[in-house]
Structure 1
Amino acid sequence: MNLLVIYTHPNHQSLSYAFLQKVLEGSRENPRISGIQVLDLYAESFDPVLVYNEEKRRRDMHREPSLAKYREQIQWADKLVFVYPIFWGRPPAMLLGYIDRMFSSGFGYRDNGRLLPEGLLKGKSAVCISTMKGPERIYPWFYLNNAHKVLMGRALLRYVGIRPVKFFEFGSMESPKGRHEKKLNKVYTYFKNLEH
């Protein structure tokens, strides 16, 4: 199994970075995981701005030369692992920009005349590991649904054929009572024992 870990946080002293290290630690101890690549979007200076105009047509985005390396990473991976904080109830703009540019028509999906297009990334699965200041139960209570899970799981990843999607949502992470070590170990154990 090949893992592409997409890390999206500007600070390497952050709790998100600690979760990234636990993903890597557990994965390296798992004999079923044969390959690991890490894409640090901020360190990479990834350009999240989606541009199409008279010169750059939307229908040609899946052939954008500057994104070839990132397309190869996604094609190589069996599982995509996203590690990021929750900003304003959603992933960082940097990560959403990556998805905007990478999951384009012709690479992520193909229109087929039906209600939903054909997902071209079928056979891959994903794990989303997110941290937030507020309690994780705030979404269903305050917003009547979990907008973050709907966005990442259904509107984005399922749309391009990636499923299943496993979520680790860790809340109260700025609190001294946030049980950080327990949560970090939960991620480590998951990847150490991951079978597929």
Structure 2
Amino acid sequence: MKILVIYTHPNHKSLCYAFLEKIIKGSNENPNIKELQVLDLYEEGFNPVLVFNENKRRRDMYCDPQLEKYRKQISWADKIVFVYPIWWGRPPAMLMGYIDQLFAANFAYKDKKGLLPEGLLKGKSVVCVSTMKGPTRYPLFWLNNSHKILMKKALFNFVGIKKVKFFEFGNMESPKGKQTKKLEKIYDYFKKI
């Protein structure tokens, strides 16, 4: 199995970064994982801003040479892991900008007759590891599960990815947030998948 981890947090002393370290450690100890790549969007200096003009058209994003490296990473991976905080009920703008540009028509999906397109990323799976200040059940009860619906139905299922696993960790700024236990849960998951 080949894993691409997309890390989206500006601080390497954050809890998100501690989760990234556990993912790397568990993956390195797992004989089923043959290769691991990490893409740190902030460290990479990824530009999340969409630009469309007479030279850069939306319909051509699938072949934009500036995004070729990232398309190759997605194509290469069997499993894509996203590590990010939930801010204002959704992933950071940096990650959404990456998604807007990379999950483009004719790369991630292809329009066809009918209501839904053909997903071109079939066979891949996704794991989302997210942290938030609020309670764990906050997205479910107060936001009608909008985070999971956005990520699973509006994005991953749309592009053909059916296997999506979520780890949403709440109360992460609380002294009673059980951070160590949650970090070990992620380590164990990646050590055994």
Aligned length: 193
Q: What's the counterpart of residue 129 of structure 1? A: 129
Provide, for residues 136-187 of structure 1, a one-character-per-residue CA deviation record: whole Å limited to 9, x for no partner.
11222223x2110001111011111112100000000000000001000000
Q: What's the counterpart of residue 110 of structure 1? A: 110
Corresponding position: 1:34 with 2:29: no
Alignment of 1:81-160 (within 5 A): 81-143=81-143, 145-160=144-159
Corresponding position: 1:193 with 2:192: yes
Q: Aligned partners of 1:7 and 1:16: how far apart in 2?
A: 8
> Aligned with 1:128: secondary structure?
strand
Counterpart AA for 1:64: D
Provide, for residues 69-104 of structure 1, a one-character-per-residue CA deviation record: whole Å limited to 9, x for no partner.
000000000000000000100000000000000000
Structure 1 runs (4+) deviating above 6 angstroms are none
- Name whichever of 45-54 and 101-110 sits farther off: 45-54
> Aligned with 2:157: secondary structure?
helix
Q: What's the counterpart of residue 160 of structure 2? A: 161
Aligned-pair distance for 1:8?
Answer: 0.1
Counterpart AA for 1:55: N
Counterpart AA for 1:169: E
Which runs of no fewer than 5 residues in structure 2 stay unpaired? none
Which runs of no fewer than 5 residues in structure 1 stay unpaired? none
Give the alignment's TM-score, normalised by structure 2: 0.98
Q: What's the counterpart of residue 6 of structure 1? A: 6
Provide, for residues 37-89 of structure 1, a one-character-per-residue CA deviation record: whole Å limited to 9, x for no partner.
00000000001111122111111110000111000000000000000000100
Q: Aligned partners of 1:80 and 1:114: how far apart in 2?
A: 28
Give the alignment's TM-score, normalised by structure 1: 0.97
> Aligned with 2:162: secondary structure?
coil
Corresponding position: 1:183 with 2:153: no
Q: Aligned partners of 1:162 and 1:170: how far apart in 2?
A: 23
Counterpart AA for 1:187: I
Q: Quick one: percent identity of the two aligned structures?
A: 66
Provide, for residues 1-54 of structure 1, a one-character-per-residue CA deviation record: whole Å limited to 9, x for no partner.
000000000000000000000000000000000000000000000011111221
Q: Aligned partners of 2:114 and 2:54: how far apart in 1?
A: 28
- After superposition, the CA RMSD in angstroms is 0.7
Q: Aligned partners of 1:126 and 1:170: how far apart in 2?
A: 17
